[in-house]
A = this chain, B = another copy of it.
Amino acid sequence: MREILIAALCCFAGAATAQTPSLLGFAPAGASAETALEARFDTYLDATRIGARLKVLSDRPHHVGSPGDQLNARRIYDEYKACGFDVSVDTFYVLFPTPKTRLLEMTAPVPYKALLAEPSLKEDATSGQTSEQLPTYNAWSADGDVSGQLVFVGYGLPDDYDQLARRGIDVKGKIVIARYGRSWRGIKPKVAQEHGAIGCIIYSDPKDDGYFAGDVYPEGAFKNEYGVQRGSVMDMPIYPGDPLTPNIGATKDAPRIDRKDAVNLLKIPVLPISYHDAEPLLKSLGGPVAPEDWRGALPMTYHLGPGKTVVHLKLEFNWDIKPIYDIVARVPGSVFPDQWIIRGNHHDAWVNGAGDPLSGQVAMLEEAHAIGELLKTGWRPKRTLVFCSWDGEEPALLGSTEFVEEHARDLQRHAVAYINSDGNGRGFLNAEGSHALQPFLEQVARDVKDPETGVSVLERRRAREAVNSADTKQRSELLASYPFHIGALGSGSDFSPFIQHIGVPSIDLAYGGEDPGGEYHSIYDSYDDYRRFKDPGFVYGVTLAKTAGRTMLRLSEADVLPFDFTALSKTIEGYEGEVTALAEKMRESTTVDNRLIREGYYRLADNPAEPIQAPSPKTAVPFFNFAPLQNAQAALSKASGRLQKVLTPALSGDTLRVVNTGLYQAEQQLLSDQGLPRRPWYRHTIYAPGFYTGYGVKTLPGIREALEQRNWAEVQQQIDLDAAVLSQFADYLDRLATSAGAPE
């Protein structure tokens, strides 16, 4: 048995012929057919059509609850219909605040009333649709009417408040102004609120997002002085989706909690402003000069306050329930109709949203078009394809979260994988997702050509990494071989409920890096902006369609689903190394720093004329018992290796069906029943958005965040919990290997 298996494996994994590359999950003949199918798929993709579709869908503002949103839902519905798909609309009813009153004024030392408006430009055809545009605001700000001294808090993150404290500055009862950047925006008012601030202003500094970066719109792509980044400030690291219906779909009749009981809503008012509006406020601040790292590109000395500067912030919102429209289009599988390959991209925007989200949406619709053309030739997918055009992503991943919460049980039973995209542009492939799909995605990247250079998108990524690396050893290694790594998923788009709430293997795909600009969430994210600065010719729209299309088609047509849990096991092992090293590093640095504090070194290093007090000593970091985690990892490594050996074309019939189901449901084993501490909606033990980063991922989040937050008891609890989950996962893979015929 053993030798046969090995022979089959060689045949299966090796390169078949010069014409046909090996494809994970396919026997050579299947790989040839799949390659031919993909070539046909490509012939139906058309950049001009992508561009035309983008122009139509971005022709007016289409935020949640707007006529434009409803119109686009209809257009998308019609387009799927025209592809011959089975289309439905999942409508949910969600809370969505829109501004009623917005006032920001400086009352001392000199009066200034903030404009809070982005002017229309003759170079931007849709920028003048003022009556339909949502004004500049942060959704989920609290209603409020507050006046207080102003304090500049840098990027508004926890460490920044430590810096303020060392300079004797407290924000209690004051209004803070923070720079956009370094975290998801919603973290800034949350941390401000935690520190007792009564209001929060977030501004775009021209250093991060304006003239420092490049010429400003409409001359160039970067943010002009009036541009404002709208966006959600719901505390989505607690839970996303409709705040009134946590864990359940926000259907018409769903039970709803009271708004004041929604723990992910802020208690303080928050407003985003332009650098035009920020400049007079910041310029008037007294107090110490800001740390160098906080200073931006406005022509002035940045001070911290507080001082004579007093601002008045008044915000009121319409707290309405609005309908959202998820358009769901299905192509039933001909062989495994109960196994679903799900593709998604949202369609709602803050304003016209040509880049975010329509550039991804129109590529996805082009994939649907190509599938429709394939259907016309008589082709049928083996597995069911599902296209989802989500509504309400911008305020809080509303459409995808409500859908997932509503259909959790079916999705956990049937969903093979969820493939997400969002904004897209010129440049390099960025892929993130479930690491069991990493080797599979490497093959996809190997087989898609970059439109600018003609090499594979994999090779182009490698070139960038090699050229950008400052480390000769790393460059040399990249020349020898390219270890393709995908990032882990945090949050910021619709994959979050799939992977983090219900454990559906997920992937997020985007091209970018040659499309920077300042249009994000402003009225200038328009067709005119996009075609000039983001993807002229829409060729990266085609490239995204090729990439996501191959991902869908290979998952749909593979004999054995191309999961590789040895890749996941190695990745988790890396994370374990990181948290172990983090504990060690924190222990050492705490010991040394406490000595420096207690023995007066900070005082001696300080400048008595501009004092920066020593930080407070920190609690010592105990030693933790990592053994349970290490033992679980050893079991996982063994089990995943044992399983991988038997995932060959030798599998067939019921065994194949059982194995495939076991493969795509495996990630659910990584969920914990209780979820993460203080945010049980997040149940994945390996991946979560950071509590204090927002979009940014935390891997092994339970352990890592307990460490970062110096909650020592919780560190050990989380180590034990993750070890139990990983053990259970190892057992699961082991049983699956046995089902697949692995020798004991």
Contact = CB atoms under 8 A, between A and B. Distances in A.
Interface of A: 206, 211-216, 220, 222, 289, 295, 297-301, 426-427, 452-453, 455, 459-460, 462-464, 466-468, 472-473, 475-476, 479, 514, 585, 588-589, 592-593, 595-596, 599-605, 607-609
Given A476-B588, A604-B455, A596 B467 contact: yes
A585 to B, nearest CB: 7
A206 to B, nearest CB: 7
A216 B214 CA distance: 27
B467 A215 contact: no
Contacts of A298: 299
Contacts of A602: 463, 467
Contacts of A599: 479
Contact of A604 (B459, B593, B601, B605): B459
User: How many monomers of this chain does the complex have?
Assistant: 2
A289 B592 contact: no
A467 B601 contact: yes
A602 B463 CA distance: 7
22 contacts: A211-B301, A212-B295, A214-B289, A214-B301, A215-B289, A297-B299, A299-B299, A426-B609, A452-B608, A462-B601, A463-B602, A463-B603, A464-B604, A466-B601, A467-B601, A472-B585, A472-B592, A475-B593, A476-B592, A479-B592, A479-B595, A514-B609
Contacts of A475: 589, 592-593, 596
A474 to B, nearest CB: 9
Contacts of A215: 289, 301
Nearest to A479: B595
A14 B300 CA distance: 56
A220 B463 contact: no
Contacts of A426: 607, 609
B301 A596 contact: no
Contacts of A593: 475
Nearest to A609: B514
Contacts of A427: 607
Given A212-B301, A222-B301, A299-B299, 17 more contacts: A212-B295, A214-B289, A220-B301, A297-B299, A426-B609, A460-B604, A463-B603, A463-B604, A464-B604, A466-B605, A467-B596, A467-B605, A468-B605, A472-B588, A475-B596, A476-B588, A479-B592
A466 B596 contact: yes
Nearest to A468: B605
Nearest to A608: B452
A299 B300 CA distance: 9
A348 B34 CA distance: 83
Contact of A479 (B300, B464, B596): B596
A462 B599 CA distance: 12
Contacts of A299: 206, 211, 297-299
Contacts of A214: 289, 301
A481 to B, nearest CB: 14
Pick the 10 closest A-B CB pairs, nearest first: A463-B604, A467-B605, A299-B299, A463-B601, A464-B605, A463-B605, A472-B589, A514-B607, A475-B592, A211-B301
A582 B215 CA distance: 39
Contacts of A609: 426, 514
A315 to B, nearest CB: 29
A265 to B, nearest CB: 37
Nearest to A455: B604
A459 B593 CA distance: 17
Nearest to A588: B472
Contacts of A472: 585, 588-589, 592
Nearest to A428: B605
Contacts of A460: 604-605
Contacts of A297: 297, 299
A695 B371 CA distance: 68
A301 B299 CA distance: 13
Contacts of A596: 466-467, 475, 479
Nearest to A215: B301
A453 B604 contact: yes
A603 B462 CA distance: 12
Nearest to A427: B607
A453 B603 contact: yes
A619 B308 CA distance: 62
A284 to B, nearest CB: 13
Nearest to A299: B299
Contacts of A211: 299-301
A213 B300 CA distance: 9
A517 to B, nearest CB: 13
Contacts of A216: 301
Contacts of A212: 295, 301
A472 B591 CA distance: 9
Contacts of A300: 211
Contacts of A453: 603-604, 608
Most chain B beta-carbon contacts within 10 A, residue among A298, A453, A459, A467: A467
